[in-house]
Amino acid sequence: MFDYDHRITLTGTVTKFEWTNPHAYIELDVADANGGAKHYSIECASPNVLTRLGWKFNELKTGDKVTILVNPLKNGKLGGMMEKTTLPDGRTLGDGNPPGGRFDQ
Amino acid sequence: MRTIALMLSLAALPVLAQTQSKGNPPNLNGAWAVYRAGRGAAADPKLAAPAAGPMLLKSPYADAYKKRQAAEREADQRGEPLGNRGTLCIPYGMPQMMSAIYPLEILQTPGQITIITEAFSEVRRIYLDEPQAKMGEVAPGYYGHSVGHWDGDMLMVDTIGIKEEVLGFRSMPHSDQVRITERFHLAAPDVLHDQVTVEDPVTLEKPWTFTFAYRRTPNYHLLEYVCENNREYLDDNGVTRLKLQDH
């Protein structure tokens, strides 16, 4: 489903951070060249894994500006799997990728 | 062949015949995580789980299993992974839950041992020093009916009544006659082994034995896990897809 051979870097504004199982999600608006925005849904590991990697349930707020390294969806739709996120304060938190290792935390 | 069959039946006998605990049981209370050799300063390869024995399936289960494995590999390479019940957020059940992808917790109370896993918040209850029910009399479920007893410092557990739909360890297919025997013991003060033997007269040529190893994690509090937001789904071809949030 996700293209682990490719990565894209998305810089945008968080519209929602869902701290849910089986996966957390970051909803992100990314500005395009025409003054509009493209919306991406970015899957993360579970809150259980993210917690062990240093994430907190309130790590992201609506309106936060973040940069996320993403393995895009293979079908070209606007979504992907988070690999790491650079938070507004400059810290970087990962997702435990590669996917085979995501539960290995 | 007859000798092997006799040896197998004798090997299974003590579990079935002796249900009363003896000796002083060790303390297994607390949280445990998978023990991985070579990981962390204290990791000792000698305490890691021994390699699993061969899973010898009867035909046509073996053929179907091989076909499914090949299809999964091919789909993964294509980038369209086939989903399974896990993709749909259906809990693992026994014995897969004991693989503890996330930590598990053991509670020892009088007459009962309870095991709670973090993933899917699964719960199994092992009733101590009670006789096992007859095969076919337990309503099939994810955890079945487990009875156990202490044999010295070894906890022996017998489980029957696992639903056929529950995916086995390494996706092993099983029938309603599957029996899971476990031997829990401390390989070191803070390292627990669960040696699991799966018997199934319908799908297995011979019993299959594998071991899970855990390390004690004294200060760990299990997190909750409620599958409330599953955006992954299976399409008509069984391929995993992601439902995107449209704005």
Q: What is the pLDDT of residue A72?
A: 95
pLDDT tens per residue, range B144-165: 999 999 999 999 999 999 999 9
pLDDT tens per residue, range A51-88: 999 999 999 999 999 999 999 998 899 999 999 999 99
pLDDT at B247 over 80: no
Nearest to A43 among B239, B242, B246 (CB): B242
Is any Cβ of chain A less than 8 angstroms from the Cβ of B236? no
Nearest-CA distance B34 → chain A (Å)? 9
The reply to whether residue B226 touches residue A77, judged by beta carbons under 8 angstroms, is: no
| Short-list B11, B7, B18, B49, CA closest to B32 | B49
Q: What is the pLDDT of residue B140?
A: 97
The reply to whether residue B223 touches residue A47, judged by beta carbons under 8 angstroms, is: yes
Q: In chain A, whose CA is at the least distance from the CA of B79? A: A1
pLDDT band at A20 (very low <50, low <70, confident <90, very high): very high
Q: Which residues contact B125 (CB under 8 A, 6 or more apart)?
A: B112, B113, B114, B143, B146
Q: Residue B146 CB: number of other CB atoms within 10 A?
A: 23
The reply to whether residue B228 touches residue A77, judged by beta carbons under 8 angstroms, is: no
Report chain A residues touching chain B, CB-CB < 8 A: 1-3, 15-16, 18, 20-23, 25, 27, 29, 39, 41, 43, 46-49, 51, 73-74, 77-79, 103-104
Q: What is the mean pLDDT of residues B64-86?
A: 88
pLDDT at A48 over 50: yes
Nearest-CA distance B94 → chain A (Å)? 19
pLDDT at B60 over 70: yes
Q: What is the pLDDT of residue B233?
A: 87
Q: Which of A39-48, A80-89, B71-80, B132-141 has the lowest mean pLDDT?
A: B71-80
Q: What is the pLDDT of residue B246?
A: 63
pLDDT band at B40 (very low <50, low <70, confident <90, very high): low
Nearest to B242 among A1, A46, A48 (CB): A1
**Chain B environment of A51 (Cβ under 8 Å):** 223
pLDDT at A101 over 50: no
Fold of the B25-242 domain: Lipocalin (2.40.128)
Q: What is the pLDDT of residue B225?
A: 96
Q: What is the mean pLDDT of residues B211-216?
A: 96
Q: What is the mean pLDDT of residues B164-173?
A: 94
Concatenated DSSP letters of chain A = -B-TT--EEEEEEEEEEE--BS--EEEEEEE-TTS-EEEEEEE---HHHHHHTT--TTS--TT-EEEEEEEEBTT-SSEEEEEEEE-TTS-EEE---SGGGTT--
pLDDT at B65 over 60: yes
Q: What is the pLDDT of residue B139?
A: 96
Q: What is the pLDDT of residue B15?
A: 46
pLDDT tens per residue, range A25-42: 999 999 998 999 999 999
Concatenated DSSP letters of chain B = -HHHHHHHHHHHHHHHH--S-BS------EEEEE--TTSSTT--GGGSPPPP----BPTTHHHHHHHHHHHHHHHHHHT-PBP-TTTTT----TTGGGG-SS-EEEEEETTEEEEEESGGG-EEEEEET-PPPPTTSSPPBSS-EEEEEEETTEEEEEEE-B-TTS--GGG----TT-EEEEEEEEEETTEEEEEEEEE-TTTBSS-EEEEEEEEE-TT--PPP--B----EEE-TTSBEEE-----
pLDDT tens per residue, range B4-25: 544 444 444 444 455 788 878 9
Q: What is the pLDDT of residue B11?
A: 47
Selected residue with higher pLDDT from A82 and B236 = A82
Domain boundaries, chain B: 25-242
The C-alpha atoms of residue B237 and residue B174 are separated, in whole angstroms, by: 24
The reply to whether residue B226 touches residue A23, judged by beta carbons under 8 angstroms, is: no
Q: What is the pLDDT of residue A56?
A: 96
Record the pTM: 0.87
The reply to whether residue A78 touches residue B244, judged by beta carbons under 8 angstroms, is: yes
